[in-house]
Amino acid sequence: MANYKMQLLICGGTGCRASSSNLIIDELKKQLETKNLADDVQVVETGCFGFCEKGPIVKVSPDNTFYTQVKPEDAEEIVDEHIIKGRKIERLLYTDPETKKHISDSKHMEFYKKQVRIALRNCGFLDPENIEEYIGREGYEAMGKCLLERTPEQVIKEIKESGLRGRGGGGFPTGLKWQFAAANKADQKYVVCNADEGDPGAFMDRSILEGDPHSVLEAMAICGYATGATKGLIYIRAEYPLAIKRLVIAIDQAREYGLLGENILDTNFNFDVELRYGAGAFVCGEETALIHSMEGERGEPTVKPPFPAESGYWGKPTNVNNVETFANVPAIINKGAKWFSSIGTDKSKGTKVFALAGKINNVGLIEVPMGTTLREVVFEIGGGIQNGKKFKAVQTGGPSGGCLTEKHLDTPIDFDNLIAVGSMMGSGGMIVMDEDDCMVAVSKFYLDFTVEESCGKCAPCRIGNKRLYEVLDKITKGNGTDEDLELLDNMSRVIKDTALCGLGQTSPNPVLSTLENFRNEYEQHVRDHKCAAGACKDLLDYVIEPENCVGCTACARVCPVGAISGERKQIHEIDPALCIKCGACIEKCKFNAIFIQ
């Protein structure tokens, strides 16, 4: 690699691959071969750069030119103009939406300016299928320090002093969790990586595994050394084929280099990692349900205690952390607990990775210091709301989180602040909504998800959430009453207090937060039978404006249910009893004669 004069780094994450980044790689290699440049320029398929909205991305190193939305047919121009002639291709550069200026270096883009990448430190910078590139970026140095220079107790002390808390949603102190597992004596202990990422719109763990799998393997080995475990298991959903492929390659390479297996670094420490596949059950993100699934049982949670640290996989002491939590560990060991704890807030140290999605200009994967405000995330990093629409809410914490409004935009993002305002950190999903979103319908959407994903073991979740959904469905169809609003509130609080696991205990959050922050929308649905956002079809009426209708019959011909009547050159009418609100008539009408009221 040292002999190459230039590198072309191409995003090879799932999102960019879906937009033909693999074809861009093939075409770039072909052009370099054709022009006898293959020995001078290296093409590297990396993990996710994070800026998914502008993918596929090609980054030219060492001049750090950042090309966005590249297509396979652009490969020849990149080689001819940039590599051979040294000219930057302006049409492929990022254009600042405010200044309209082209920006070639990602450091000067608003999307990256406030990010601090720790868990994502290697994503977009190395080939995830090449262990030597990981080693070249301090890879496995942290494990070496632990095995050769520190006792297990010293490692746990370092993690505790760093203030690292679990990034899977619970926020439990990681070092304390390791200490519990270490304290329980057994002939066999396990380290489990929870890669069962199930939140709608979340892709943090997947991107880390696709872009930097060795960081997780190294961290698991460090955890094994600290807790006395010799076996590691990664529980990953089968819907992540690229992450699985790269994990398999990384595990094989680590074994080949003697970094997994027996007598690692000649220290008599043994540790190996295997994969276990999940079938996509959201409840298996809960650690006891995950463990049961790995054992071949139904993925159902159990009452704690005992905690997995005491009795986990096959009844043995087991430490469970998620992907992002593990990804922070090597950096903490290498740079020190004081360095990590200097980032973030008093009780939430370090950074947090978020999957920023929804009605926002800069959809992507971001990593920001704890304490960054929602306003900074949405309007600076995220670039504001699409199409100039008005910001309405942001859902944090996935289906178990709450919807926060404009009054919450200056809330610093950390574990405690988000809970205080009725939401939660969760694993890091962050979905932005605009004025066209109906908050009652949003709440119903999330309840539909949790009802579907409930394991059914406890009645509050199995029956209570189903009942919540039925009441919400009733309201969105215009049949709700004032009593239903009180019922929603009361049932939600009972479910939170009585459900068995985190799924049930947090599932009413979208209902409670929208009731508190958007009660007027609920009342509008109930009392006026209207949906101002136009999202609840049962509360909409399609009407033909007589003054604009010319009787062309185009709307009647396209209506799939025959709800529109009228003779040619006569004013037409829509029968509301037959209309299914599909919108086909509006699309077909050339005279703006049909509107929704």
pLDDT band at 2 (very low <50, low <70, confident <90, very high): low
Q: What are phi and psi of 140, to 5 degrees?
A: 65, 5
Distance CA 351, CA 328 (A): 9
Whether the CB-CB separation of 220 and 146 falls below 8 Å is answered with no
Average pLDDT score over residue span 207-215: 97
| CA torsion through residues 73, 364, 280, 190, sign | positive
Instruction: Give pTM, 2 decimals.
Output: 0.91
Average pLDDT score over residue span 261-277: 96
Average pLDDT score over residue span 524-545: 89
The CATH class given to the 351-434 domain equals alpha beta
Fold that domain 131-341 belongs to in CATH? Rossmann fold (3.40.50)
Length of the chain: 597
CATH code for the structural domain at 439-528: 1.20.1440.230
Q: What are phi and psi of 19, to 5 degrees?
A: -105, 25
Distance CA 291, CA 528 (A): 49
> Residue 358: beta bridge partners?
432
* Statement: residue 45 has pLDDT above 60: yes
Q: What's the pLDDT at 379? A: 95
Q: What's the pLDDT at 335? A: 97
* Statement: residue 397 has pLDDT above 70: yes
Q: What are phi and psi of 188, to 5 degrees?
A: -145, 135
* Statement: residue 424 has pLDDT above 90: no
Pairing of strands 318-322, 65-67: unpaired
Whether the CB-CB separation of 287 and 194 falls below 8 Å is answered with yes
The 3-class SS string of 30-63 reads HHHHHCCCCCCEEEEEECCCCCHHHCCCEEEECC
Distance CA 474, CA 440 (A): 11
pLDDT band at 475 (very low <50, low <70, confident <90, very high): very high
Distance CA 91, CA 336 (A): 43
pLDDT band at 419 (very low <50, low <70, confident <90, very high): confident
* Statement: residue 597 has pLDDT above 90: no
| CA torsion through residues 500, 501, 506, 508, sign | negative
N-terminal to C-terminal alpha carbon distance within the chain: 64
* Statement: residue 1 has pLDDT above 50: no
Q: What's the pLDDT at 391? A: 95
- For domain 6-109, the question of CATH label 3.40.30.10 is answered with yes
Of 249, 299, 251, the closest CA to residue 274 belongs to 251
Whether the CB-CB separation of 233 and 314 falls below 8 Å is answered with no
pLDDT in tens, 96-122: 888 889 999 998 999 999 999 999 999
Of all residues in the chain, the percent with pLDDT exceeding 90 is 82
Whether the CB-CB separation of 544 and 571 falls below 8 Å is answered with yes
pLDDT in tens, 158-182: 999 999 999 987 889 999 999 999 9
Placement of tokens 């610093």 in the chain: 412
Placement of tokens 């049409």 in the chain: 91
Placement of tokens 């209708």 in the chain: 549
Q: Which of 7-11, 120-124, 395-399 has the lowest mean pLDDT?
A: 395-399
For the segment(s) 541-596, the CATH number from 3.40.50.720, 3.90.700.10, 3.10.129.10, 3.30.70.20 is 3.30.70.20
Angle, vertex CA 422, rays to CA 419 and CA 425, nearest 5: 45
Of all residues in the chain, the percent with pLDDT exceeding 70 is 100
| Domain extent listing, the chain | 6-109, 131-341, 351-434, 439-528, 541-596
Whether the CB-CB separation of 349 and 162 falls below 8 Å is answered with yes
Q: What is the DSSP letter of 379?
A: I
